[in-house]
Amino acid sequence: MSTAAAAAPAARAVGLTKSYGTGDTRVVALDAVDVEIEQGRFTAIMGPSGSGKSTLMHCLAGLDNAGSGQVWIGGTDLTSLNDKQLTRLRRDQIGFVFQSFNLLPTLTAEENITLPADIAGRRIDPDWLKQVVVTLGLGDRLRHRPSELSGGQQQRVAVARALASRPQIIFADEPTGNLDSRAGAEVLGFLRGSVDDLGQTVVMVTHDPVAASYADLVLFLADGRIVERLADPTADAVLARMNRFDGTRPTD
Ligand SMILES: Nc1ncnc2c1ncn2[C@@H]1O[C@H](COP(=O)(O)OP(=O)(O)OP(=O)(O)O)[C@@H](O)[C@H]1O
């Protein structure tokens, strides 16, 4: 890989604008957002309710169209792709983890992990799969069905499923929203491990300052704009920043 390629961001948006509705009911969900998601880093997206977090994540992940502006995943400009190409890119280059684990109840943990690759007719590198399973502490759970696993274990299976195809980037939408704090901490530790030990790139939307403190960088959104970036965040620093949103609209 050339130096330039190694330094290329995993995802990037330039002038990303997205609005819903028209006339009096028009809402600008994203207002000319410029952002780069660095490779091999864990980025959290935070901000008050309605600030545009989900819209940003959906546009970056090719789940929603940018109204205007451009979005890249690696070197690919999403706005240049048709629906079929976009579907393929999502399948091959993006991993998703949702708040509700979205596992198939009739399949074992291992079958859930390999399902997307099986459907795509792609082979998962067995050494990589083994590493993912070990990193996520799932070695002795692979034959269990979701109903035989705790919430935290189910979410770890979902993280392993996202990692299995070695995607360019993983998007996690409130991944600990349905977990108690102990299970949440475990899942966050494994997401952190997937960045540190496996070199993955993770972007996570969260409302929880403790969850955000696992990230390398927190992007704060307000009114559809990125208003602050906080590197090496502590939960206290994130909470202090979030509290500044209460009752006042940020001016920056
Ligand atoms: N499909 C839609 N139709 C109309 N308005 C929408 C739609 N999706 C989002 N919006 C509006 O766009 C703005 C940003 O919404 P978004 O869901 O991205 O915010 P969020 O920060 O993720 O909020 P939350 O923390 O409550 O999930 C909000 O004002 C929301 O009401």
Give 170-208 pLDDT, tens digit per residue.
999 999 998 899 889 988 998 999 899 889 999 999 999
Annotated domain spans of the chain: 39-64+83-243
Distance 215 CA to ligand 1 centre (A): 23
Better-scored residue on pLDDT, 113 or 137: 113
Label residue 250 by pLDDT band (50, 70, 90).
Answer: very low
Strand partners, 5: none
51 lines ligand 1 (CB under 6 A): yes
Q: Which two tokens stand for residue 232?
A: 């090496």
Mean pLDDT for the stretch of residues 145-151: 96
Distance between CA 186 and CA 206 in Å, rounded?
16
**What mean pLDDT is predicted for residues 127-156?**
93
Residues in the chain: 252
Tell me the CA–centroid distance for residue 85 and ligand 1, in Å: 26
Q: Could you confirm whether domain 39-64+83-243 is CATH 3.30.1540.10?
A: no
pLDDT band at 251 (very low <50, low <70, confident <90, very high): very low
Residues 111, 107: Cα–Cα separation, whole Å: 6
Say what the ipTM of the complex is: 0.96
Q: Taking Cα atoms as reference points, which of 73, 96, 48, 57 lies closest to residue 220?
A: 48
From the CA of 55, give the closest atom in ligand 1.
18
**Neighbouring-strand partners of residue 230:** 218
Query: Would you say the CB of residue 49 lies under 6 angstroms from ligand 1?
Result: yes
3-state SS class at 239: helix
50-91 per-position pLDDT tens digit: 999 999 999 999 999 988 999 999 999 998 999 999 999 999
Q: Are 202 and 190 within 8 A, CB to CB?
A: no
* Mean pLDDT to the nearest integer, 33-48: 97
Phi/psi of residue 42, nearest 5 degrees: -110, 115
Average pLDDT, the chain: 91
Which one of 19, 22, 25, 27 would you pick to mutate in the ligand 1 pocket, going by the greatest count of ligand atoms within 8 A of its CB?
27
